[in-house]
Structure formats: structure tokens, C-alpha cells
């Protein structure tokens, strides 16, 4: 086995807004592991702040990061002699690179509420350099100096563009990211779906926007029921999930009301959302208006606020 290090200069799918005084040089790197592979990430390139005449400004953006990945691999006799990395091993490095970048961007997204950040396909393009100790390794399909490679998924890349309240990445946040990046972190699926619903709405895909708002709402209702059952019954988590999975939306609403009558869920608005959702899903309606999509998203976001204390217990503090 040999320790092979890959160095990757990654262009991010969507740049990260950073504070005007973000110190790109001299900042401590993020170190973590993914399935035993050692990862190091540092900021590489960022844009300058743009000042407007009215005193406002466009924050600088972190556009590139440098990622080092160290992996233990068996080069095999032919590769040992030719100092060449196989295509299969290159692709394994790419998969680790994407997962590492996804994990890193997810932490920042969670910290800053920059919902534009693409945690599904965070790597737009990258270049590479592989080495073993002091020896440089070639590849089967080498690129010209400075040329960037698109990852395998690039043709199906999802790019999201909406504007929600957010904060810029600061040096203090970076230190928190560096601390937390080694721990599992994720953005709730219902939050991702709500963001997608807003994106579809902005693209005038009102049917898709409504469907995503409904799916997000159903996930929130199910999660809330599982959580409330945990405080009101002696059922295991597996038993609670099994029970909740058999319930339809009206039954989920009734269960929440039964377990905690103080939860201010707007039952009729949620039922209205799911009546529209069923019409779309079953082909009973061909046209969804902007007003209907807007109401659907408003209902889902209100439901999130109504269930906030249950979905995020720390909100009680």
C-alpha cells in the first residue's frame, strides 16, 4: 500500500459570500476524515468587495478552495513502475473530493443560511496533481497545465438562485467550521425542499413548487409526530416511525392536536394545500396559478414556524 496525495483546486458551483475582512491568507485549514481518507481544505481565491455610491456593498465571494486528499491505495506493479494513477483510482479520488466539498459547504450553508449554496453538486470544476512522497504521479488521461476537469455529474448539475436572509462567512465562523467539519452535519430535507419550491416558483414552475411545498410539509408533520410520540409514549423510535408512516395528512394533524393541543397549526390551510397537491399529482388540474403556488409555499413556511419548537428542541432555550 502507498499513501497517495491528491491536490485539487476546486471552482465552487456557487461562490460563498464572505465578510469584507475575511483573511484568505494565513487562515487555519480545515482537517477532517471521510472513511479514513484525510482531507485538508483551505480558501484559494476570492473576489474583491464591490462598493456602491449609496454606501452599500456587494460582499466578496470565495470562488475557489484547495483540497488535499491523502488515501492509502495499492498501485499495482505496472503503476509502480510507470508512476501512473489508473482511471479507476482517479474516479475514486473525484468521489472523495465531491463528498468532502459537499460536507464542507453544508457546514457553511448551515452556519450562514446562504441557501443558494449547492450542497448537491458543489464542485463545478477542478484541476489535480497526484504525488507519492516526493514523486509526482501521472494519469492515464493527463490534462494540460492549468486545465480544469468537470466532474462526471457536471451535465446534470443543479444550480439554485434565490435570495433569502443570510450572513457572510467570517473568520470566527471559519474557525467554527474547522471545528465542526469533522462531525456529521446536514441540512434538513424539508428545508432543502422548501428552497427548491421557492426556486421553482421563481422559474414559474408553479405545479412543481406546490408539490415540493406539500412534500416538505408532510415530512415536517411526520417528524413532529415521531418527536411528540417520544415524549408521550414508551414506544421505541422504530415503532414510532412505523406508526406514523401509516397515517395520512389529516390523521397526522389530528395526532399533533391530540398530543399537544398548544401547537398552533393552521389545519385548514394545510388541508387546502394537500387537496391541491392531490389534484396535481392525479392529473385533475393542469394549471396552477402564481397565487396558488404562493399560498402553498406560505402554508409550508408557516407550518415550519408552528412546529419549530418540536422540530428543533433547542428553540425552547
What pLDDT is recorded for position 86?
85
Q: What is the mean pLDDT of residues 55-80?
A: 86
Percent of the chain with pLDDT over 70: 92
What pLDDT is recorded for position 88?
86
Domain positions in the chain: 2-180, 189-316
Q: Is 37 within 8 Å of 128 (Cβ atoms)?
A: no
CA 167 to chain CA centroid, Å, is: 16
- Choice between 315 and 99, residue whose per-residue pLDDT is larger: 99
Per DSSP, 60 falls in state P
Is it the case that residue 252 has pLDDT exceeding 90? yes
pLDDT per residue as tens digits for the range 93-121? 998 999 899 889 989 988 898 888 888 78
pLDDT per residue as tens digits for the range 3-31? 999 999 999 999 999 998 998 888 899 99
Q: Kindly give, in sequence order, each residue whose CB lies less than 8 Å from that of residue 241, ignoring residues fewer than 6 positions away.
A: 226
What pLDDT is recorded for position 29?
94
Amino acid at each position: 500500500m502507498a499513501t497517495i496525495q491528491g491536490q485539487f483546486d476546486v471552482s465552487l458551483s456557487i461562490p460563498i459570500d464572505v465578510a469584507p475582512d475575511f483573511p484568505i491568507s494565513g487562515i487555519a485549514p480545515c482537517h477532517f476524515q471521510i472513511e479514513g481518507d484525510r482531507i485538508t481544505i483551505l480558501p484559494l481565491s476570492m473576489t474583491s468587495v464591490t462598493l456602491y455610491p449609496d454606501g452599500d456593498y456587494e460582499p466578496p465571494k470565495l470562488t475557489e478552495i484547495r483540497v488535499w486528499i491523502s488515501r492509502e491505495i495499492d498501485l499495482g506493479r505496472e503503476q509502480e513502475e510507470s508512476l501512473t494513477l489508473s482511471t479507476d483510482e482517479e474516479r475514486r479520488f473525484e468521489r472523495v473530493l465531491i463528498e468532502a466539498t459537499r460536507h464542507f459547504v453544508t457546514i457553511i450553508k448551515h452556519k450562514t443560511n446562504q441557501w443558494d449554496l449547492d450542497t448537491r453538486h458543489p464542485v463545478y470544476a477542478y484541476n489535480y496533481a497526484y504525488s507519492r512522497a516526493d514523486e509526482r504521479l501521472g494519469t492515464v488521461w493527463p490534462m494540460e497545465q492549468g486545465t480544469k476537469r468537470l466532474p462526471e455529474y457536471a451535465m446534470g448539475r443543479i444550480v439554485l438562485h434565490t435570495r433569502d436572509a443570510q450572513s457572510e462567512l467570517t473568520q470566527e465562523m471559519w474557525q467554527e467550521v474547522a471545528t465542526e467539519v469533522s462531525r456529521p452535519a446536514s441540512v434538513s430535507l424539508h428545508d432543502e425542499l422548501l428552497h427548491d419550491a421557492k426556486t421553482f416558483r421563481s422559474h414559474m414552475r408553479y405545479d412543481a413548487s406546490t408539490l415540493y411545498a406539500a412534500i416538505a410539509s408532510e415530512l415536517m408533520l411526520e417528524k413532529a409526530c415521531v418527536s411528540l410520540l417520544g415524549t408521550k409514549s414508551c414506544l421505541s423510535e422504530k415503532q414510532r416511525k412505523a406508526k406514523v408512516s401509516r397515517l395520512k395528512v389529516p390523521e397526522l394533524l389530528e395526532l399533533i392536536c391530540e398530543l399537544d393541543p398548544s401547537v398552533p397549526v393552521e389545519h385548514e390551510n394545510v388541508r387546502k394545500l394537500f387537496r391541491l397537491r392531490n389534484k396535481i399529482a392525479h392529473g385533475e388540474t393542469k394549471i396552477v396559478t402564481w397565487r396558488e403556488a404562493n399560498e402553498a409555499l406560505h402554508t409550508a413556511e408557516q407550518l415550519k414556524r408552528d412546529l419549530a419548537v418540536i422540530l428543533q428542541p433547542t428553540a425552547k432555550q
